[in-house]
């Protein structure tokens, strides 16, 4: 059975994890090992990683029988789906091979350029892919709330998006913050590219009407905080989501894995997975 075939609702999905020795990779492996619907089928890491050759579940004090490898074909040979929360360049290499092998993808990587997104769209013509800047169920419900708020508060309210993450995060603003801005702009019939303000310094003058401002905080071990401020005259509305653990991302990823069982090709997001459209 290939990854693009439909599976019975009782079948356990065979899942490989990219970045298996990283913080998110380990959270994903822990969730898969504890799942009744999935089984760990592969574990990938970069060449030179000290984790290569180790059992992927060793950090849990368990043996999964799956060894961490940098050989992509070996790591994917038994998999229905690959979950990837790595870097754009690595994810694109994985996507190309997954498209060749018929392995579906759940992508939580952020920081893609428009050209890189086009490569993922091309891969999705061969295999089904869920691509989302944030896999958390709560974050995606928050996006739906922002869509509703943006439609109702479409005049007389200034919009600011404030996000905070740990000191190791390499892209800014976060993919989630950008997605929030995109959802708001689209709900108001506009494009984020025409409204976004990413930097303020010095004598900036008054705030440009209709702009969507972004503020970024980096420090410590903050998993991920996002607040959208709708500031009007005499009142303000704040919609906030805070992540205290990466567990929510892992659980959302497994929901995406289950959703893909019913798909052959196409590019989807968490609104599709959670039926929020």
Strands 224-231 and 196-197: unpaired
Estimate to the nearest angstrom the gap between the alpha carbon of 119 and the chain centroid.
17
Among 165, 179, 226, 241, the one annotated catalytic: 165
Cβ neighbours for 21, distance < 8 A, ≥ 6 positions apart: 45, 49, 50, 51, 54, 68
Helix (H, G, I), strand (E, B) or coil at 239: strand
Beta bridge partners of 43: 17, 68
Q: Judge whether 117 counts as a catalytic residue.
A: no
Beta bridge partners of 128: 266
CA atoms within 13 A on the CB side of 74: 11
- The length of the chain, given as a count of residues: 277
- If one counts every other C-beta atom within 10 angstroms of the C-beta of residue 96, the result is 16
CA angle at 48 for the pair 247 and 97, rounded to the nearest 5°: 70
Task: Let me know if 33 is exposed, middle or buried by CB neighbors in 10 A (0-12, 13-18, 19+).
Answer: middle
C-alpha gyration radius of the chain:
20
Identify whether the C-beta of residue 133 lies closer than 8 Å to the C-beta of residue 178: yes
Q: Judge whether 165 counts as a catalytic residue.
A: yes
Among 77, 167, 169, 226, the one annotated catalytic: 169
Report, as residue numbers or ranges, the catalytic residues: 165, 169
């Amino acid at each position: 059975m290939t990854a693009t075939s439909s599976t019975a609702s009782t079948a356990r999905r065979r899942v490989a994890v990219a970045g298996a020795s990283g913080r998110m990779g380990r959270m994903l492996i822990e969730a898969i090992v504890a799942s009744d619907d999935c089984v760990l089928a592969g574990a990938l890491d970069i060449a030179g990683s000290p984790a290569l050759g180790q059992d992927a579940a060793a950090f849990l004090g368990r043996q999964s029988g799956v060894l961490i490898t940098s050989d992509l074909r070996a790591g994917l040979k038994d998999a229905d789906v690959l979950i990837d929360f790595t870097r754009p360049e690595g994810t694109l290499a994985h996507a190309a091979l997954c498209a060749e092998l018929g392995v579906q993808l759940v992508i939580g990587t952020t920081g893609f350029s428009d050209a890189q997104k086009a490569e993922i769209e091309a891969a999705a013509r061969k295999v089904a892919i869920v691509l989302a800047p944030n896999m958390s169920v709560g974050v995606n419900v928050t996006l739906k709330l922002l869509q509703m708020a943006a439609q109702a508060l479409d005049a007389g309210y200034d919009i600011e998006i404030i996000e905070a993450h740990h000191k190791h995060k390499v892209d800014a603003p976060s993919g989630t913050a950008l997605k929030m801005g995109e959802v708001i702009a689209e709900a108001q019939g506009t494009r984020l590219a025409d409204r976004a303000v990413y930097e303020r310094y010095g004598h900036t003058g008054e705030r440009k009407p209709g702009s969507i401002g972004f503020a970024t905080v980096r420090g410590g071990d903050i998993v991920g905080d996002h607040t959208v401020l709708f500031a009007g005259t005499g009142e303000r509305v704040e919609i906030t989501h805070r992540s205290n653990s990466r567990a929510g991302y892992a659980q959302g990823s497994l929901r995406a894995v289950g959703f893909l069982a019913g798909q052959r090709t196409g590019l989807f997001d968490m609104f599709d997975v959670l039926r929020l459209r």
